[in-house]
Structure 1
Amino acid sequence: MVEFPKLKTTPRANGSYDLVVPAKAKITPYITFKGYSQVHLQTFTTAGKDLANVNFQTPTVNIAQALGFLLGVPISAAGQPKQCVIVSTFSTKNVRNLNFEGFIGYGAHGIAGATATISPKLPGAVYFNDNVIPDPAQLLSSKDGGVLWKSVPAGTYKITASKPGNKFASFTATCKPGRVVNANPPWGLYQTSGPGS
């Protein structure tokens, strides 16, 4: 936990974990695992209720380096960007309350046709195409639902989403050099109303 460095846990064999955190606090969980890129989640503000399904999507160092090459993002030998990268997914409300097994079993959970905005404003949201590849030519989200910003300066950012007939949650990303912030499902830009996918 970035804000509380002494708060740590080790996941169980199935990847699940529990971690008690302070109430009414800002917390940014992150994960480290040998051979994998370190990933930070969005910054949560706790409000006296449990946060469920706070999952990590963590690529191997090789995959992180390949994605960096594809996007022209300078990557260190440890597989981390030299600046910050923010990633999220426009995800259907249908996966919001599923347990991990149900979430994995659901399959594709993206919302196509959405756009994301970052504040303070930065250029260049990159949407993932139907083949799950970040594609600078893609102007809206695909059924994959992924979106990212590369080479983000240090700072705190609010990310919002829009699509006619839908509403989405927003999230806060706290960027520092070398950090990948992945606000992944069922958190991040999850759908709060609108047709399911």
Structure 2
Amino acid sequence: MTKFEVARLSAGAPMQGTTRRVYSAVSAVVAVVALVVATTTAQVAVSAQVATAAPGDTVTAQGRLWSFGPGGGTVAGFTVYLIEYPELSAVTDSSGRWRIEAIPAGFDVTFAMDGNEVRYPIHTARFTDVDHDLTDVTFQSPAHSLIRLFETLLDVETDPSLCHIAATVTREGYSLGVGAPDGTHGEPGATVTISPTPAQGATPIYFNGSHAELIWPDRALEETTADGGVTFVNVTPGIYTLTAHKSGATIRPVTVECIAGRLVNASPPWGLQVLSGGIGPGVTVPFPESTPPGPTVTTAPSDPTIPTAAPIENTYPLPPSPVPAEPISAEPTYTG
């Protein structure tokens, strides 16, 4: 998708939420939130694995930290690190770019950014058995006020002991900044399941819209629209696999670790990517006939309370050394 604007709530309105994009609707339409990020300048490749590394070697990862908020843009001066190897980190530059070297090859990695008084903590889904360099590892950082707005639109309240998941079912050949003539890049008509079934938060919520820059979460939907966005709200922490289903289509699944008090975003081009059998590029698919669920509000409220994310702890043992005991022969996949 393209650029977005954050909508604001009045001081008297409850604030709550999770991510993707929130667009300010013109006239009397609701401020809407778009998950699974979109930006104006992002040009990301669908394949982001290059330069094969032999087991026992190290690999390099690089990407960009985007702002999920007013005017889009990127986030400078934040530390991106690996959950599995927190000593490996990099600070984003003035354009939000980061690069981390010396990552042990052949193991799982997840990239994260902690929140502060403005931004909500977020991490990618998991890359598994990584023995290639990784590029275009993108994720966005939402504001706390935007998260609250998302909650307001869904009439939910964030439980700090739970977590949120966001993903996009993306058309073959498309990514964040590459889409159809109308600006959309989602694969419509897909359903998304989560496995194993969490004790809480197992119901997917898909995104509706009027056009590419006016979208909102809609509980009435039973499948993806041209936006492709889906979210699971207040999920029991754990490790899950998201799988997208559409007749005739092959869609890459993703694995995410949902951590209390945080948002995990399986962002294109490493999300639920259609590999074949979808509608393909160049096709414009209209959104369902609908209107946003409320009036546009343009006044930003104060932000008196900032939720604190739980500390990240590994839920699986790390290797005793960065050198695998056995060669890794399987093709590495990004599960997020």
TM-score norm. by structure 2 comes to: 0.52
Q: Distance in 2 between matches of 1:92 and 1:69?
A: 29
Residue 31 of structure 1: aligned partner:
113
1:45 equivalenced with 2:124 (yes/no): no
Contact 1:87-1:147 at 8 Å conserved across structures: yes
Map of 1:12-161 to 2, 5 A cutoff? 12-20=93-101, 21-32=103-114, 34=116, 35-75=118-158, 81-95=160-174, 103-104=176-177, 106=179, 107-122=183-198, 123-130=202-209, 131-161=214-244
- Give 1:82 deviation, angstroms: 4.3
- Give 1:53 deviation, angstroms: 1.1
C-alpha RMSD of the superposition: 1.8
Structure 1 or 2: more strand by fraction: 2
Post-superposition Cα deviations, 1:122-165, rounded to whole Å, max 9, x if no partner, equal 43111111242111101110111001111111111011111112
Change beyond 3 A, Cα 1:166–1:157: same
Residue 183 of structure 1: aligned partner:
266
Give, as a single letter, the amino acid of the residue that structure 2 aligns with 1:30.
A
Q: Distance in 1 between matches of 2:273 and 2:224?
A: 13
Q: State which structure, 1 or 2, has the greater radius of gyration over its C-alpha atoms.
A: 2
- Give 1:10 deviation, angstroms: 1.1
- Give 1:59 deviation, angstroms: 1.7
- Give 1:104 deviation, angstroms: 2.4
Give percent identity, aligned residues only. Answer: 35
- Give 1:33 deviation, angstroms: 5.6
Partner of residue 3 from structure 1, selected from 66, 84, 88:
84
Contact 2:168-2:268 at 8 Å conserved across structures: yes
Change beyond 3 A, Cα 1:82–1:73: farther
Change beyond 3 A, Cα 1:4–1:135: same
- Give 1:28 deviation, angstroms: 1.4
Unaligned 5+ runs, structure 2: 1-81, 282-336
